[in-house]
């Protein structure tokens, strides 16, 4: 059966740029999936997605004009219901076949064959059932594509749909943007389908201003991309257009010895705004460089979609790149227009910066008492007081009174920039502007860095606070959020986490681990909870929050490459000191590679089960005088020799060496279980053996729960 490429293009008004790539991919792949399910496209048919500001398109190779016929088996009913004792068709079977238009097959039973229709008895799980086998005629492309097109449009991840009227003035359609054209070509032939009130044809539109031909009469499906480029001045492929922009950006920057800012999200958005990119270099008044570079970069990227240029030292220059959608012979008018547009934006940033510095952060603090943080947790001023209390305790434990005083000062000022004009205009700069304003107010560098860094890490992979003061305030800030919101029941559920508590927890864990903070997690939770003492409607959340942290830690460790078994073994003991977790994991990984590990893990699991099932009270001290078997004496002797060494190494936090000591226990443990009956009839003997196993269990499970390595 001959096949051709299939092109489907929907021409629309300007699509939302932040959703364009997702819309283009979804349209193409949903279309292809539906065609495959109908047998019109094969599993190896290639799919190319195209997305420009004014079109969504898909090119699918190897699409048939008519799908191949296929045999379909449909279960009718169980044999026990379909046939009577003499194996003849029952009235129930006749009725079921009549609904399917195949009643005559009941008369032919058991030789129920009529052309391509057959009734067969086949296995259905543990029982048997009657199945009707028929041959379905292959779907014609026009009908199949209509189904696929309707399905693809219904499944599009449209951020917000709009309703508009069709040309008849009466009919209404809901779609992401008004559609103006539909192309459906199978090879060179138009497929007669409709979508959004539009009949399919072969005519599309190129660039609004620069298309050499308008409209573009498409030759066939395979020439779509080339014809649209040559006759329509449009680069149809999103990735091709993006790559062209990157090439032009790097070339334009390299000519000046500069580097464009790296921003994938901005690059995607700009790619979605242009059909024929043209990168131009522009300038702004160098006097604006007195404003913090973060402000200038943000206003250029967020408001104007420009790419600021950095020098070799990473400092902002007064040059930037703009991606234009036109390519005039003389680009000076475009350059001057963009330079004129950016000036008032930068002037606003300078005005905000100058105005903000007229009032100190200290002078803004009373205003925080008028800002509601949470209806059940009070104002932002109350929140700052709690963060200060937490920071002072953490600082005192980590660095004494000096660190506590610096952390208190930084925590007091950390949220004041929320009331500045700059942060009001650009919320993304909270913390960053606080650092600048703290320096302007004469605060120390340590305090300024802490004010700037206390939101870190803001996202996965973000840097941690640079100095110890910032680390203390960041811990205090995140712990206040977690303890406060957990205490009023505002927990994450499923994929919903409106307060980003998972991100806060991961930030705390990263700081505790990567900076080896010498505070146990339960203690840290206790410090934070103390700041809420007396808060009406708030409840302590020790155990619940600890579980939440360990769940987040398990995800983090698995993402970093540890196996589920290793993570389960280490976190099974709910370690308190987070900084020890990587060392414990490394020790467990080394232990798992030892030849004795499997047997010891299995024995440890067996010991745990024996101790759980024991109805005796907690085992007491081991009495060597009660030993009867040589194997129990040998195990006790080995344990007495090994336990002190393993414990000493554990106390020195040399967890790998502590676990290595356990290898010598394999022989005595195996012999014990081969030769000794733990649940002896003599109560004293049984209790003594349980005590020996309990002592062994304690030594084996100080670094990790080794039983979780079994299997």
Domain ranges of the chain: 3-67+140-232, 70-136, 238-356, 366-561, 582-709
pLDDT at 615: 62
Q: Is the pLDDT of residue 628 over 90?
A: no
pLDDT digits (tens, 9 = 90+) for 234-278: 999 999 999 999 999 999 999 999 999 999 999 999 999 999 999
Higher pLDDT, 416 or 129: 416
pLDDT digits (tens, 9 = 90+) for 36-92: 999 999 888 999 999 999 999 999 999 999 988 887 888 888 888 888 887 888 888
533 CB neighbour count, 10 Å cutoff: 9
- Enclosing H/E stretch for 10: strand 3-12
Looking at the structure, give the CATH architecture of the domain made up of residues 3-67+140-232: 2-Layer Sandwich (3.30)
How far CA 547 is from CA of 39, 554, 578, 621, in Å, comes to 50, 10, 13, 33
Q: Does domain 366-561 have CATH number 1.10.3210?
A: yes
Q: What is the mean pLDDT of residues 547-566?
A: 92
pLDDT at 193: 96
User: CA 493 to CA 67: how far, in whole Å?
Assistant: 46
User: CA 704 to CA 655: how far, in whole Å?
Assistant: 9
Q: Is the pLDDT of residue 136 over 80?
A: no
Closest by alpha carbon to 583, among 602, 570, 572, 593?
A: 570
Q: What is the mean pLDDT of residues 681-703?
A: 88
pLDDT digits (tens, 9 = 90+) for 110-126: 887 877 788 888 888 88
Q: Where do we find the tokens 């059966």?
A: 1
Q: What is the mean pLDDT of residues 298-308?
A: 95
pLDDT at 1: 59
Residue 496 is given by DSSP the state: B
As beta bridge partners, residue 136 has 70
User: CA 71 to CA 496: how far, in whole Å?
Assistant: 45
pLDDT digits (tens, 9 = 90+) for 310-353: 999 999 999 999 999 999 999 999 999 999 999 999 999 999 99
Mean pLDDT computed over every residue of the chain: 92
Q: Is the pLDDT of residue 616 over 60?
A: no
Q: Is the pLDDT of residue 631 over 70?
A: yes
pLDDT at 155: 94
Residue 548's SS3 state is helix
pLDDT at 117: 80
pLDDT at 618: 59
Q: What is the mean pLDDT of residues 364-393?
A: 96
Q: In sequence order, what E strands does 102-258 have?
A: 113-114, 117-124, 127-136, 162-165, 172-175, 179-186, 189-190, 194-195, 198-199, 203-204, 216-217
**Right CATH number for 582-709 from 1.10.730, 3.30.1490, 3.90.580, 1.10.540?**
1.10.730
Q: Is the pLDDT of residue 617 over 60?
A: no
Considering only 116-125, 138-147, 375-384, which range has the smallest mean pLDDT? 116-125
The 3-12 sheet, strands edge to edge: 47-52, 55-64, 3-12, 179-186, 189-190
pLDDT at 101: 81
Q: Is the pLDDT of residue 387 over 60?
A: yes
Q: What is the mean pLDDT of residues 375-383?
A: 95
pLDDT at 84: 85
Closest by alpha carbon to 115, among 83, 137, 144?
A: 137
Q: What is the mean pLDDT of residues 431-459?
A: 96
User: CA 701 to CA 587: how far, in whole Å?
Assistant: 12
Residue 551's SS3 state is helix
15: its two tokens: 């699509």
Pairing label, strands 372-374, 307-310: unpaired
pTM of the model: 0.81
With a pLDDT cut of 90, the percent of the chain lying above it is: 71
pLDDT at 183: 97
Gyration radius of the chain over CA positions: 36
């Amino acid at each position: 059966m001959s096949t051709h490429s299939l092109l489907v293009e929907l021409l629309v008004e300007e699509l939302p740029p932040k959703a364009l790539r997702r819309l283009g991919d979804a349209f193409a792949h949903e279309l292809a999936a539906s065609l495959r399910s109908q047998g019109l496209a094969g599993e190896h048919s290639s799919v190319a997605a195209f997305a420009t500001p004014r079109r969504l398109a898909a090119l699918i190779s190897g699409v048939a004009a008519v799908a191949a016929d296929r045999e379909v088996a449909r279960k009718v009913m169980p044999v026990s219901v379909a046939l009577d004792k003499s194996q003849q068709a029952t009235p129930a079977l006749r009725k079921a076949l009549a609904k399917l238009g195949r009643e005559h097959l009941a008369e032919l039973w058991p030789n129920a064959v009529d052309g391509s229709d057959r009734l067969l008895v086949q296995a259905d799980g543990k029982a048997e059932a009657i199945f009707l086998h028929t041959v379905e005629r292959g779907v014609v492309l026009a009908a199949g594509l209509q189904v696929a097109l309707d399905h693809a449009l219904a499944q599009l991840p449209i951020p917000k749909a709009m309703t508009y009227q069709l040309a008849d003035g009466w009919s209404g359609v809901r779609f992401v943007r008004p559609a103006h054209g539909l192309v459906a070509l199978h090879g060179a032939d138009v497929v007669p389908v409709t979508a959004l009130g539009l009949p399919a044809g072969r005519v599309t539109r190129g660039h609004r201003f620069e298309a050499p031909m308008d409209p573009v009469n498409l030759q066939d499906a395979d020439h779509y991309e080339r014809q649209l480029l040559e006759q329509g001045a449009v680069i149809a492929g999103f990735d091709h257009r993006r790559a062209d922009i990157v090439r032009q950006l790097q070339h334009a920057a390299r000519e000046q010895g500069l580097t464009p800012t790296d921003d994938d999200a901005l690059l995607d958005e700009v790619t979605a705004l242009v059909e024929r990119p043209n990168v131009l270099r522009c300038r702004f008044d160098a006097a604006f460089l007195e404003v913090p570079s973060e402000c200038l970069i943000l206003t250029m990227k967020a408001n104007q979609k420009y790419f600021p240029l950095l020098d070799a030292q990473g400092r902002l220059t007064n040059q930037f790149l703009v991606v234009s959608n036109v390519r005039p012979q003389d680009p000076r008018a475009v350059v001057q227009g963009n330079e004129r547009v950016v000036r008032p934006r930068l002037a606003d940033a300078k005005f905000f910066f100058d105005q903000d510095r007229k009032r100190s952060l200290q002078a803004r603090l009373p205003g925080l008492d008028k800002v509601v943080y949470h209806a059940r947790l009070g104002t932002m001023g109350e929140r700052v007081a709690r963060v200060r209390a937490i920071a002072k305790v953490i600082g005192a434990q980590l660095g004494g009174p000096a660190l506590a005083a610096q952390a208190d000062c930084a925590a007091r000022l950390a949220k004041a920039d929320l009331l500045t004009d700059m942060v009001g205009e650009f919320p993304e700069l909270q913390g960053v502007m606080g650092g600048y304003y703290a320096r302007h107010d004469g605060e120390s560098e340590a305090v300024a860095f802490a004010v700037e860094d206390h939101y870190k890490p803001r996202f996965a992979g973000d840097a941690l606070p640079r100095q110890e003061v910032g680390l203390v305030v960041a811990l205090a800030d995140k712990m206040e959020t977690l303890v406060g919101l957990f205490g009023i029941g505002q927990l994450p559920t499923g994929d919903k986490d409106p307060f980003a508590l998972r991100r806060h927890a991961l930030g705390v864990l990263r700081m505790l681990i990567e900076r080896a903070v010498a505070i146990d997690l339960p203690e840290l939770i206790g410090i934070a909870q103390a700041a809420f003492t007396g808060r009406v409607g708030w409840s302590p959340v020790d155990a619940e929050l600890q579980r939440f942290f360990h769940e987040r830690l398990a995800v983090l460790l698995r993402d970093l490459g540890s196996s589920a078994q290793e993570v389960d073994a280490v976190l099974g003991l709910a370690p308190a000191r987070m900084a020890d977790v990587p060392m414990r994991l490394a020790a467990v990984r080394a232990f798992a590679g030892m030849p004795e590990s499997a047997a010891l893990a299995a024995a440890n699991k067996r010991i745990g089960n024996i101790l759980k099932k024991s109805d005796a009270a907690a085992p007491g001290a081991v009495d060597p005088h009660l030993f009867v078997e040589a194997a129990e004496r040998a195990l006790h002797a080995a344990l007495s020799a090994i336990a002190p060494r393993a414990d000493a190494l554990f106390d020195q936090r040399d967890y790998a060496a502590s676990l290595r000591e356990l290898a010598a226990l394999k022989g005595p443990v195996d012999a014990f279980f081969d030769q000794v009956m733990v649940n002896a009839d003599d109560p004293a003997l049984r209790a003594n053996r349980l005590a020996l196993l309990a002592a062994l269990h304690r030594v084996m499970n100080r670094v990790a729960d080794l039983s979780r390595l079994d299997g």
